[in-house]
Amino acid sequence: MCLAIPGKVIDLFEQRGLQMAKVQFGGIVREACLEYVPDTQIGNYVLVHVGFAISKVDEEEAARTYKLLEEMDQLTELSAPSVEEKPARKVG
Amino acid sequence: MKYLDEYRNGELARKVVGEIRRIQTRPWVIMEVCGGQTHSIVKHGLDYLLPESIELVHGPGCPVCVTPLEMIDKAHAIARRPEVIFCSFGDMLRVPGSEGDLLMLKSQGSDVRIVYSPLDCLKIARANPEKKIVFFAIGFETTAPANAMLVWRAREEGVKNVSILVSHVLVPPAIAAILQSPQNRVQGFLGPGHVCAIMGYSEYEPISARYKVPIAITGFEPLDLLEGTLMTVRQLEAGRAEVENQYARVLTRDGNRPAQKLVNSVFEVCDRKWRGIGSIPKSGYKLRYEFRDHDAERLFEVQEIDTKEPAICISGQILKGIKKPHDCPAFGTQCTPQRPLGATMVSAEGACAAYYAYGRHLKKEPMPAASGTAARSAV
């Protein structure tokens, strides 16, 4: 469970003062906290572990790693249920 | 799509294995530390691909595996309370305690929820002000920044009904404990890539120097693992002992500074017990005093729980690289992922569970290695 999953940042927003992003993993989009990789931009690829971006990676690395995790059946954390709250405020 | 195949490229893998074969003059025992690496090695049969006299042994880097049984029992005792919503990563739900698992408690009416991110607990806490939300904060250094952020934000936002049950462990003290063991066989390490993405690898340098062991911080793709093995064998053959970074495309020596800063603000280092291994000094995190109002162990005053592990289980020796799953008479018979007896079978990333998942329990002795046997009998 220490493996981080690479995804593409498709939107940035702020939630209760935290920098957040919508990150696309294959066909799934989930939220991730960007506080630990604060210079992330839309279009960047990030490694996400339990809802937190921990490092940026390039697109090739992201694609390769994602495929391996899929084969190793290590993507189950992405299917954990979402907890919805009031809509977040969009930045910019 | 060339890049997709680059790290599975059979030709490249053969070259790396060929180079290991070319430079290697004597048997070596190398431990991969991270459970994700173990899973990848067993899935791709990398240990079969290597020369027989390079033996890979599987380390303690599966956080689910090393969470002590009494901590799991504590979690269950808290989850049973009617005022509690107990939140956990999915991995912990099927791990048996002394009486059943979290899924069983859920079926009996306890409010047990899987969360994707620790931050989800804040949303659950705000939506359920009459309830106490407890998060099972397990993990290595990779997970600590996420769990630290939950507690930090709970305090900042004044969300008082959220707490965490901390069972955090650290990789470097476990490596040191393995090397200090009189039975130690490990001569080099493949260090944990994603742990070091957070922590960097400078803290491995004193260990490498003190115990004179090479450590290659390594990713978990097949070619990463073979390259990490080559880097380690090169050092061993040359009599060098340094920390090298095979996974430079993801991590630097410094790691993720913002993450380290928040972890250090929320947690402090403490002694921790590891399932199968026992207590290791300064090998985990606990909450700092200023966050005591979010410490589930304090808030719920769970009594010291007495547990007993089956005597037949050798997971402690497996986690230290002294033995392998096939050395255990219960492996694949009395002990299976459905009815695990100990640490290395309770999670898919444990060595026994990985061997089982890829059918290695079906063969008596799948290691092709005469040398593996020789190395074992030499201990």
Tens digit of each residue's pLDDT, chain B (379 residues): 344 455 556 788 899 999 999 999 999 999 999 999 999 999 999 999 999 999 999 999 999 999 999 999 999 999 999 999 999 999 899 899 998 999 999 999 999 999 999 999 999 999 999 999 999 999 999 999 999 999 999 999 999 999 999 999 999 999 999 999 999 999 999 999 999 999 999 999 999 999 999 999 999 999 999 999 999 999 999 999 999 999 999 999 999 999 999 999 999 999 999 998 899 999 999 999 999 999 999 999 887 788 888 889 999 899 999 999 999 999 999 999 999 998 999 988 899 999 999 988 887 555 444 343 333 333 3
Could you give the CA distance from residue A37 to residue A89 in angstroms, rounded to a whole number?
Answer: 20
Question: A6 forms bridges with which residues in the sheet?
Answer: A47
Chain centroid offset of residue A32 CA: 5
Predicted local confidence at residue B9, as pLDDT: 67
Q: Can you read off the two tokens belonging to residue B14?
A: 């053969």
Cβ-nearest to B197 among A35, A55, A67: A55
DSSP B303: P
**Which tens digit of pLDDT belongs to each residue from A29-88?**
999 999 999 999 999 999 999 999 999 999 988 888 888 888 877 787 888 888 877 654
Predicted local confidence at residue A61, as pLDDT: 84
Within 8 A of B116 by CB-CB distance, chain A residues are 30, 50-51, 77-78, 80-83
Phi/psi at B253 (5° precision): -60, -35
CB A70 within 8 A of CB B164: no
Which of B41, B66, B111, B119 to probe the A interface (max A CBs under 10 A)? Answer: B119
- For strands B188-192 and A28-33, give the pairing: unpaired
DSSP B295: B
Collapsing DSSP to helix, strand or coil, B314 comes out as: coil
Could you give the CA distance from residue B321 to residue B61 in angstroms, rounded to a whole number?
Answer: 12
Predicted local confidence at residue B238, as pLDDT: 98
The structure's pTM equals 0.91
- Beta-carbon separation of B349 and A1 below 8 A: yes
Within 8 A of A32 by CB-CB distance, chain B residues are 117
Residue A13 has pLDDT above 70, yes or no: yes
Q: Measured between CB atoms, does A47 come within 8 Å of chain B?
A: yes
CB-based burial label for B270 (10 Å; 0-12, 13-18, 19+): middle
Domain count, chain A: 1
Question: B30 forms bridges with which residues in the sheet?
Answer: B56, B188
pLDDT band at A89 (very low <50, low <70, confident <90, very high): low
Cβ-nearest to A54 among B40, B91, B256: B256
Predicted local confidence at residue A51, as pLDDT: 96
- CA of A92 to nearest chain B CA: how many angstroms apart? 24
The domain spanning residue A62 has which CATH number?
Answer: 2.30.30.140
CB B84 within 8 A of CB B131: yes
Cβ-nearest to A38 among B62, B250, B258: B258
Phi/psi at A21 (5° precision): -145, 155
- Beta-carbon separation of A68 and B34 below 8 A: no
Could you tell me if residue A84 is inside a domain? no
Could you tell me if residue A90 is inside a domain? no
Predicted local confidence at residue B376, as pLDDT: 34
Domain boundaries B1-298, corresponding CATH code: 3.40.50.11740
Could you tell me if residue A26 is inside a domain? yes
Question: B267 forms bridges with which residues in the sheet?
Answer: B287
Predicted local confidence at residue A76, as pLDDT: 79
CB B125 within 8 A of CB B162: yes
Question: B31 forms bridges with which residues in the sheet?
Answer: B57, B189
Question: Domain of A44?
Answer: 5-77
Predicted local confidence at residue B371, as pLDDT: 40
Cβ-count burial B152-182 (b if 16+ within 10 Å, e if not)? bbbbeeebebbbbbbbbbbbbbbbbbbbeee
- Write down the ipTM of this complex: 0.89
Predicted local confidence at residue B273, as pLDDT: 95
Q: Which residues, numbered 9 to 38 in chain A, qualify as contacts with chain B under a Cβ-Cβ cut-off of 8 Å?
A: 16, 18, 30-33, 35-38
Instruction: Report which secondary-structure segment, H or E, holds B70.
Output: helix B69-79
Within 8 A of A83 by CB-CB distance, chain B residues are 115-116, 120, 123-124
Cβ-nearest to A50 among B61, B113, B117: B117
Could you give the CA distance from residue B70 to residue B135 in angstroms, rounded to a whole number?
Answer: 16
Could you tell me if residue A45 is inside a domain? yes
Cα angle for residues B33, B247, B48 (degrees, 5° grid): 55
- CA of B123 to nearest chain A CA: how many angstroms apart? 7
